[in-house]
Amino acid sequence: MCGICGNISLNHKSISSQALRDMVETMIHRGPDEDGLYSDGAEISLAMRRLSIMDIEGGSQPLISNDRQNVLIYNGEIFNAFDLRLDLEKKGELFDTNNSDTELLFKILQKEGIYSISKLNGMFSFAFLDKVNNKLFLARDRFGIKPLYYTTQNGFFAFSSELKSILSLPFIKRDINMQSLFNYLSLSYVNGPNSIIDGIKRLEPGHLLEYEYTKKELKIIRWWEPLFNP
């Protein structure tokens, strides 16, 4: 279990480093071993808490490309990582770590694009920054084992593995979503993309979010759905 979070300023006002630190510190229980932060120095900040499981010595995050145009923060485990890594090595790809599934995911996304996640067998949520195309991608595994929340409020786009991480930001409203409350009292859970907090949504299982931050355009795309063929 790890935790990821981040934010993008939509009004050219960067969030304070302490606010980002507060976001990631609320998730220390998800990743007591290490934290990592990325900032482009202007509008984009990403952070994560890590529980070291795969490649304990070499799996630090965020992963940043040499040209600093791609950044990845990731929470999860890819069960077929060994096979996918072997395929890339046969094609001449070199790895800096011994068996980090984070590095594997990073290389696949860089070389094959966001829809290469269909190759993954595992549980995951991640944020992949593509500065060449001014896009941030968020993705969640097929059954939603790894959580991911997001919101757009007061000139900021923010996301996190946990609701309380987003709520640590000073500009986030804390109004209860009354429909979600009704659903919770009726069904014992909150269904659909909404959370219990009005204005904060959950990325649904098997979906990805594409955010074009220069145009402030947000798309939700279903990348997987079950097939019930005989």
What is the pLDDT, as a whole number, of residue 170? Answer: 87
Q: CA distances (Å), 52 to each of 28, 32, 39, 104, 125, in order? A: 13, 9, 23, 16, 16
Q: Where are the beta strands (DSSP E) in the chain?
A: 3-9, 34-39, 44-50, 63-64, 70-78, 122-130, 135-140, 149-153, 156-160, 200-202, 207-212, 217-222
Q: What angle do helix axes 101-112 and 81-90 make, rounded to 10 degrees? A: 50
What is the pLDDT, as a whole number, of residue 52? Answer: 62
Cis peptide before 193 (omega within 30 of 0): no
Instruction: Read off the tokens for 187.
Output: 């069904």
5 is catalytic: no
Active-site position among 1, 2, 38, 126: 2
What is the pLDDT, as a whole number, of residue 98? Answer: 84
The angle at the Cα of 142, spanning 121 to 49, to the nearest 5 degrees, equals: 80
Report the C-alpha gap between 156 and 167 in whole angstroms: 13
Residue of 19, 3, 34 lying closest to 127 (CA atoms): 3
What is the pLDDT, as a whole number, of residue 42? Answer: 72
How much is the pTM? 0.92
Q: What is the mean pLDDT of each run of 10 residues along the chain (230 residues)?
A: 87 70 89 83 86 62 92 95 93 86 94 94 96 96 96 92 94 94 96 95 97 94 90
